[in-house]
Amino acid sequence: MLTANQVAVIKQTVPVLQENGEVLTRHFYERMFRENPEVLTFFNPAHQKAGTQQRALAGAICAYAQHIENPAALADAVELIAQKHASLGIQAEHYPVVGENLLASIQEVLGEAASPEIIDAWAAAYGVLATIFIDREQQIYQDQKTDFGWTGFKRFVVKKREAASDNIVSLYLAPEDGQPLQAHQPGQYITVRLTPQDGEPVMRNYSLSNRPGADYFRISVKRELAVVDGAPNGVCSNHLHDRIQEGDVLELAPPCGEFTLQTRDETQRPLVLMAGGVGITPLLSMLYAALEAQPGREVIFIQCALNSAVRPFAEELVALQRDYTNLCTHLRLSEPSESDRHQGDYDSEGFLDAALLDELLGERHADFYLCGPAPMLKHAWQLLKARGVDEADIHFEFFGPADDLAA
């Protein structure tokens, strides 16, 4: 428990954190990777290089300080982080490493402004937060053991490999030991652990794109290229594209994730799934689940892509549209090729806009699930807020460190 004085001190540091948060978190990561290189395997270097990891942590620290008297207000953020930690196998013994480096960075960045009183208050606050995460993550591990039959990493065989688009490959994975798979929750992801040639072990999360309850897991991986100068290409995605073939073995951790489909009674309002690029993967799993569980509910699936060459799962969506009368699919291409325009195998051109939502929904209320690149998510969020959609009815997932859609 924090004392009243410690709470007051934490609240007083909020303006300093808002001003210096990213400087602090950059220093923290650099220090931790230097002093404790054993934790490097838990982090994606591309996110470090782009600065997204540092911004996400700075925002999380500020949010915690602002809600220090009521950490329950951060329940959604805690669950997102705890699920991510569990997917990577974070354990209780890792928390002292983080705490030691965080407190040292506060001291080193703030200098004389970091009084003993401030360091004491943040040490206590970190201890409270660490306990919250440790307890929740241990429960997730227990649930994984109960629901899926294993924790940690298990060997899976690549039973099938196929192209989902020009830049996305799908891998169908079955347990090497032949044990049956329990159904994942639609929207969850798994963690792949592999060691690229002449490299260190890496772990990456990939959404499950298959129907829950299948006898395999399917991941559909986009080849990731560097998004900023000096950043590396995606180590794991390029390895999976270039080297992993049918018959190879990958290590997988059990499904995790809080971005899951919340079913309503089928007489309720429509379900709208809005996918951008490879963000379709968790939404496709949700689509299968919704169509199977609620055949009477209207489902609208909006797929946004650059052009047909990088539009994944075209044939699957055509088949689902044919088989389910309650499904309406709409394909919008932002930069259709000449071939696309000649063939006309898409519904509209441009970016997502209010006119399209008006056309498909009118003034009806709906439940919305969004996944795609950050600019697309922010744009979709603004469109939905302009329509008066309640935030509780908008569900979304970032691929990578979380960001603020309202910013």
CATH code reported for the domain at 154-256: 2.40.30.10
Query: Among 1.10.8.60, 1.10.730.10, 1.10.490.10, 3.30.70.1380, what is the CATH number of 4-148?
Result: 1.10.490.10
Of 33, 37, 27, which is closest to residue 108 (Cα–Cα)?
27
Q: Is 30 a catalytic residue?
A: no
Residue spans in the chain of domains classed CATH 2.40.30.10: 154-256
Q: Which of 95, 206, 288, 369 is catalytic?
A: 95
Q: Which of 126, 137, 288, 369 is catalytic?
A: 137
Number of Cβ within 10 Å of residue 57's Cβ equals 20
Encoded amino acid at 355, one letter: A
Mean pLDDT value of segment 246-269: 88
Q: How far is residue 196's CA from residue 199's CA, in Å, rounded to a whole number?
A: 5
Which band of pLDDT confidence, cut at 50, 70 and 90, is reported for residue 400?
A: low
Mean pLDDT value of segment 354-379: 95
Tell me: pLDDT of 81 over 60. Answer: yes
pTM: 0.92
Of 31, 194, 12, 209, which is closest to residue 106 (Cα–Cα)?
31
Q: How far is residue 187's CA from residue 184's CA, in Å, rounded to a whole number?
A: 8
**CATH fold of the domain at 271-397:** Rossmann fold (3.40.50)
Q: How far is residue 171's CA from residue 250's CA, in Å, rounded to a whole number?
A: 10
pLDDT single digits (tens) 259-268: 999 876 645 7
Q: Is 137 a catalytic residue?
A: yes
Residue spans in the chain of domains classed CATH 3.40.50.80: 271-397
Q: Transcribe 256-275 into DSSP letters.
A: E-S-------TTS--EEEEE
Which band of pLDDT confidence, cut at 50, 70 and 90, is reported for residue 199?
A: confident
Measure Cα distances from 339 to 198, 279, 308, 344, 348 in Å.
41, 24, 9, 8, 15
Which band of pLDDT confidence, cut at 50, 70 and 90, is reported for residue 200?
A: confident
Residue spans in the chain of domains classed CATH 1.10.490.10: 4-148
pLDDT single digits (tens) 305-363: 999 999 999 999 999 999 999 999 999 999 999 999 999 999 999 999 999 999 999 99
What confidence score (pLDDT) does residue 359 get? 96
Q: How many residues does the chain have?
A: 407
Q: Which two tokens stand for residue 348?
A: 């509209």
Chain CA centroid to CA 116, Å: 37
Q: Which two tokens stand for residue 355?
A: 């006119």
